[in-house]
Amino acid sequence: MTVAYEPVIGLEVHVQLATDSKIFCSCSTKFGLTPNSAVCPVCLGFPGSLPVLNRKAFQCALKVALGLNCRVQEIVKFDRKNYYYPDLPKNYQISQYDKPIAYDGSVRLMSDPSRVIAVRRVHLEEDAGKLMHDQDKTYSLVDYNRAGTPLLEIVTEPVIRSPDEAYEYLAILKSILLYLEVSDCNMEEGSLRCDANISVRACGETKLGVKAELKNMNSFKAVKAGLAYEIKRQTDLLESGGKVSQETRLWDADSASTRTMRSKEEAHDYRYFPEPDLVPFHVPREYLESVRKDLPELPAARKDRLLASTDLSEREVSVLIMEKKIADFFEAAVRLGAPAKAVSNWLLGDIMADLNGKGLTIDNYGLTPFMLAELIGLISSGTISGRMAKEILKEAAQTKLTPKELVEKKGLRQISDQGEIVSIIDTVIAGNEKSVTDYRNGKTNALMFLVGQVMKHSKGKANPDIVNRLLRDRLG
């Protein structure tokens, strides 16, 4: 008899908060500055320097806590996590241990609203610097610009059941963080990082299996692939009578596999203790309420609202709302009078495809909601054809000219004048006797050919609907 195995997954997401200055000093958090130019005695951990908590980072943490439906700690305290590494200037990280700023939260999945991913804790901490090993074989360099950047660690319970679920949770979490405007969630720049704890167990078993911690996954897709690999590895191991050992493993995208980084025995004892340089403080309830009041509409609520106020399908709305900027664009175009269905079709079709193809985002694409609304108007008034519109869309995005301006400039106006079209039709009928005869003998395919010929003669500008209608009339 074969035993079926099921995976149990928990995710740890580190997200850099988009504050202007670092969490315990006033140095800039800007990405890509000259190495070691955004540093001071505090973030370098110089002797005698002391940390002071950044109010904005604390506020961002509260926003996330509320956005993830967490309970918020009454007293905020920090702890020191002690370990030695050259990217850690003080050889301890100021973090939160036994009292994370928020706990007991939840994220509801969109694909299956009955599935709720429980969030165990959300805590604030400082980021470390960055080691650069590629300069020389004999030494490494360290850039402390990142040291002290505010980080939020968001940890789920071990309740995620598949790599797909993990992927969806991450997508929704990212969506919520972008809606809250607390982070740019840019994985390439490291402002969002994800580690996973994964174990497998026989179906029906309630005890957790031995887990591996998976690191070095640089995209949501890598998380999915890494988890899938690890599930198979652990399952194969158990099925062949082996045992999973508790360890930290690295995902290697090139070989699409995981390998041991360190075993449980090599795990650190972080010697956590309360950070004496930061005084624990009460979270004033009025302040918490004011943050709650100022929370923006979050993806789930927006989805419900758009489902109720538009004729779009659930699938369409789910995709539209995931990225706040896309959803904002959608609503702006609708507000300008464009029909929701048309806006959605354009956004989810040609625009998304063009964005993906060019590696752009909606806000640096060049197209405005006004342009899209105008384009849709031009189609529905019959001024341009759908096919022409596709060209105009791309050109509008590139040239910043509005669709109307482009139509004028390029003389792309669609020919809807019946007289003009009839004269073209007559020319085509005169020159294609065989097709005309075929059509009249019942070969309906011949009509398509004749329409094509008319379109060709009009250089694509004739309104295809009118061509179709008039051609049938003429052919009797």
Point out which residues bind other proteins (CB under 8 A).
Answer: 41, 44-53, 80, 82, 84, 86, 89-92, 142, 269, 271-273, 276-279
In the complex, the smallest distance separating the C-beta of residue 140 from other proteins, rounded to whole angstroms, is 8
* Spatial contact of 97 and 79, defined as CB atoms under 8 Å apart: yes
145, 129 in Cβ contact below 8 A?
yes
**Are the CB atoms for 13 and 170 separated by under 8 Å?**
yes
CB of 61 or CB of 68, closer to other proteins:
61
C-beta separation of 133 from 140 below 8 A: yes
Is the sign of the CA dihedral 348, 350, 351, 356 positive or negative? Answer: positive
Query: Which of residues 55 and 207 has its CB atom nearest to other proteins in the complex?
Result: 55
Least Å distance, CB 61 to other proteins, is: 17
Nearer to other proteins, 51 or 67 (CB): 51
What is the C-alpha separation between 163 and 232, in angstroms, rounded? 12
Closest CB 80 distance from other proteins, rounded Å:
5
Cα distance between residue 354 and residue 362, in whole Å: 10
Nearer to other proteins, 63 or 80 (CB): 80
Alpha carbon dihedral 41, 46, 52, 55, in 10-degree steps, equals 50
Pick from 108, 110, 109, 106: which is nearest to 118 by CA?
Answer: 106
Q: Which is nearer to other proteins, 78 or 330 (CB)?
A: 78
CB-wise, 268 or 440, nearer to other proteins? Answer: 268
d(CA 86, CA 272): 19
**By C-beta, is 158 or 274 nearer to other proteins?**
274
Closest by alpha carbon to 209, among 252, 239, 229?
Answer: 239
Residues with Cβ < 8 Å from 122, sequence gap 6 or more? 61, 64, 65, 68, 70, 100, 101, 102, 103, 105, 152, 153, 154, 155
In the numeric block, the tokens 């940390």 are attached to: 51
| Of 46 and 287, CB closest to other proteins | 46
User: In this structure, what token pair is assigned to residue 298?
Assistant: 């979050």
Cβ proximity to other proteins, 141 vs 401, nearer residue: 141
Nearest to other proteins of 275, 331 (CB atom): 275
Query: What gap in Å lies between CA 352 and CA 320, rounded to an integer?
Result: 10
How many CB atoms are located within 10 Å of the residue 167 CB?
A: 17
Closest approach of other proteins to the CB of residue 43, in Å: 12
Alpha carbon of residue 76 to chain centroid: 30
Residues pairing with 121 in the sheet: 103, 155
CA trace torsion 224, 226, 232, 236 (10° rounding): -160
DSSP readout, 47-89? TT------HHHHHHHHHHHHHTT-EE-SEE--EEEE---TTST
Least distance (Å) from other proteins to the CB of residue 49? Answer: 7
> Taking the CB of residue 119, how many other CB atoms lie within 10 A of it?
26
CB closer to other proteins, 278 vs 388: 278
